[in-house]
Structure 1
């Protein structure tokens, strides 16, 4: 499928800038090589048209085309064809010829790689053939000092401009890639890490704890009776509750802590380098703050949290066992009355901190 629409228009805008500059500098390069040959008036008009008017016409042609991407590739081939034509019109003057062909080759390979470079060379050869039919070229083996100086702006300014355009495009692509990666790892409703991204972070933390022989804790957080909230107050209210919990997590966790939405009404937190007792205090304080929130849209809505905590255990073979400990603690919190923090330590599920029960 050929790229169309926005991408094609973006390419047309980028090439409009480079073509306008390149052909203006090209005119400065070609004119001193052609004028001493006493060209006919039509050739002078053609040279002015190609160097001054063609960039604007090419842009409008591409912009108004239903397939701007294909239109720009056609315009680039026309550029290559006219470049070959001017090589013959200059009677193969060495320096202007080399500069003209190399600048066009650089442009073509930057746009379409080796394949388009070869297509552009074929167009240049065709342009030379057209020029050969119109002129009787005589090889001019020498380049005058004026012609040499006239080539310098094209040799210096155009590669700089093309490099800047390529840099901006690379920077924009890199930014888009980073944004897409962030979106692929983020839960759209809460802005926290999604299930897969958080589990990746858990694996990294598990490996770090094993390697550095340091502790830490993880928490699984469940919103009590969340289905009843959705059924009673509606899914909009449920979404507000989810966003409120994510906001509380962002406001009350350390920069080094990693929070995510594990799924549905379940959240998860990695607490690096935190003893279990301190993790219990932090999670119980978070539970207390969340249960004290009010909801203007639904004043009667009351929400609480059940939280399961598990400390890092060096005897575990993988991060899944660590997560399973937290899951067992969460299950115990939900089955023993909810609205509380339960922790899993030394293979036992212990009720370390109570909520408002």
Structure 2
């Protein structure tokens, strides 16, 4: 049932839907960000309009409208947006009104070609630069409505020739506004590039431990295995599992469990060389590739990791029980490992053997 409030226009609804996906701090900056651009656009457009009005010996009504458009409207638009219960919907309405004003001035300038085209084009470009989907499309009816109102007021006077004085007055709008929009677009591209970099890091790095995420680790492991199959250096895979990790979570809480995960990750990292790679394979399981080491040398490194974890966890003040330990299974890459899965299964089998033998030990597969 209707509550008597008219539904928002498609443009406002589209803008609101898009804005709902934007971070709140960016939404809070939007009216003031557009305010600065509106002052620039309306001010530069006002120079071109003033040149045309001067040539036409316009009367005070048009000069009053010019002052309202070029000088007053940017401040009024900000006031409307900030005082509205829905400031971002109000800002979308303001943007549509910008297009209405651009359309209005084209017939009031007797369709003087260059300033009319520039006003309508740059008003549309401004809508595109907001990033609000289809806003530029919804602004076209607003511009057409303004043009119709201006045509009725001016009696459809038509004088498209543009004088040199008006051309010169249009140059600031053409040059400065274009540069300003380009700079804004460049900032947006830079922000997207940074966000893409952050997304790439999130895909490659496990946020809790700082080790490789599983997918990225698997890509690196497959490359090492292919290198070994082609006659490259030795490589040994370690599967590391925290003993009784569920019990740690149950008795001391998940925060302590996270501390243990970070501790194990940092301990493993200290034993790695620059060519090795370590990743979080599952909840409490880690996978490490020791590049250039055979099974015997890798076993010594794994033993060092096991002792380091036990010693480091004993120093945690909030774990009053036995020190945290790890079980490690290792497998050197060989002819039987045609796929990464085969290599992982060999190391997993060794890990299960270490578990069944009493945990807190290293076993070879």
Alignment TM-score, normalising by the size of structure 2:
0.83
Cα-Cα RMSD = 2.8
Indicate the residue corresponding to 1:318 in structure 2.
339
Write out aligned runs for 1:180-191 (5 A). 180-183=199-202, 186-191=205-210
Q: Return the match for 2:99 from 72, 80, 88.
A: 80
Indicate the residue corresponding to 1:31 in structure 2.
50
**1:217 and 1:271 in contact (8 A); partners too:** yes
Indicate the residue corresponding to 2:18 in structure 1.
3
Quote the offset at 1:155 in angstroms.
0.9
Indicate the residue corresponding to 2:240 in structure 1.
221
Residues 229, 103 of structure 1: alpha-carbon distance in 2 compared, 3 angstrom cutoff: closer
Indicate the residue corresponding to 1:271 in structure 2.
290
Quote the offset at 1:59 in angstroms.
2.6
Indicate the residue corresponding to 1:168 in structure 2.
187
The CA distance in 1 between the partners of 2:125 and 2:176, in whole Å, is 13
SS in 1 for 2:166: helix
The CA distance in 2 between the partners of 1:171 and 1:64, in whole Å, is 32
Indicate the residue corresponding to 1:140 in structure 2.
159
Residues 138, 50 of structure 1: alpha-carbon distance in 2 compared, 3 angstrom cutoff: same
Q: Return the match for 1:240 from 259, 268, 271.
A: 259
Residues 252, 17 of structure 1: alpha-carbon distance in 2 compared, 3 angstrom cutoff: farther
SS in 1 for 2:281: strand
**1:4 and 1:68 in contact (8 A); partners too:** no
Indicate the residue corresponding to 1:108 in structure 2.
127
Q: Return the match for 1:251 from 260, 270, 295.
A: 270
Quote the offset at 1:211 in angstroms.
5.8
Residues 14, 277 of structure 1: alpha-carbon distance in 2 compared, 3 angstrom cutoff: farther
The CA distance in 2 between the partners of 1:227 and 1:156, in whole Å, is 65
The CA distance in 2 between the partners of 1:151 and 1:20, in whole Å, is 16
Residues 122, 256 of structure 1: alpha-carbon distance in 2 compared, 3 angstrom cutoff: farther
**2:18 and 2:133 in contact (8 A); partners too:** no
Indicate the residue corresponding to 2:318 in structure 1.
297
The CA distance in 1 between the partners of 2:296 and 2:180, in whole Å, is 61
Q: Deviations over 1:22-61 (max 9, x none)?
A: 1111111211111222222232122122112212222332
- Range with greater deviation from structure 2 (25-34 or 59-68): 59-68
Q: Are residue 306 (structure 1) and residue 321 (structure 2) matched? A: no
The CA distance in 1 between the partners of 2:59 and 2:116, in whole Å, is 20
Where does the alignment leave 5 or more consecutive residues of structure 2 unmatched?
1-15
Q: How many residues align?
A: 344
**2:290 and 2:298 in contact (8 A); partners too:** yes
Q: Deviations over 1:182-209 (max 9, x none)?
A: 3355444323334444334434444454
Residues 238, 116 of structure 1: alpha-carbon distance in 2 compared, 3 angstrom cutoff: closer
Indicate the residue corresponding to 1:193 in structure 2.
212
**2:336 and 2:342 in contact (8 A); partners too:** no
Indicate the residue corresponding to 2:360 in structure 1.
339
Indicate the residue corresponding to 1:349 in structure 2.
none
Alignment TM-score, normalising by the size of structure 1:
0.84
Q: Are residue 62 (structure 1) and residue 68 (structure 2) matched? A: no
SS in 2 for 1:264: coil
Quote the offset at 1:106 in angstroms.
2.1
SS in 1 for 2:189: helix
**2:110 and 2:160 in contact (8 A); partners too:** no
- Range with greater deviation from structure 2 (156-165 or 267-276): 267-276
**2:104 and 2:147 in contact (8 A); partners too:** yes
Q: Are residue 280 (structure 1) and residue 296 (structure 2) matched? A: no
The CA distance in 1 between the partners of 2:157 and 2:255, in whole Å, is 81
Residues 56, 269 of structure 1: alpha-carbon distance in 2 compared, 3 angstrom cutoff: farther
The CA distance in 1 between the partners of 2:271 and 2:79, in whole Å, is 55
- Range with greater deviation from structure 2 (272-281 or 15-24): 272-281
Quote the offset at 1:251 in angstroms.
3.3
**1:14 and 1:165 in contact (8 A); partners too:** no
Indicate the residue corresponding to 1:350 in structure 2.
none
SS in 2 for 1:286: helix
Q: Are residue 152 (structure 1) and residue 171 (structure 2) matched? A: yes
Residues 254, 62 of structure 1: alpha-carbon distance in 2 compared, 3 angstrom cutoff: farther
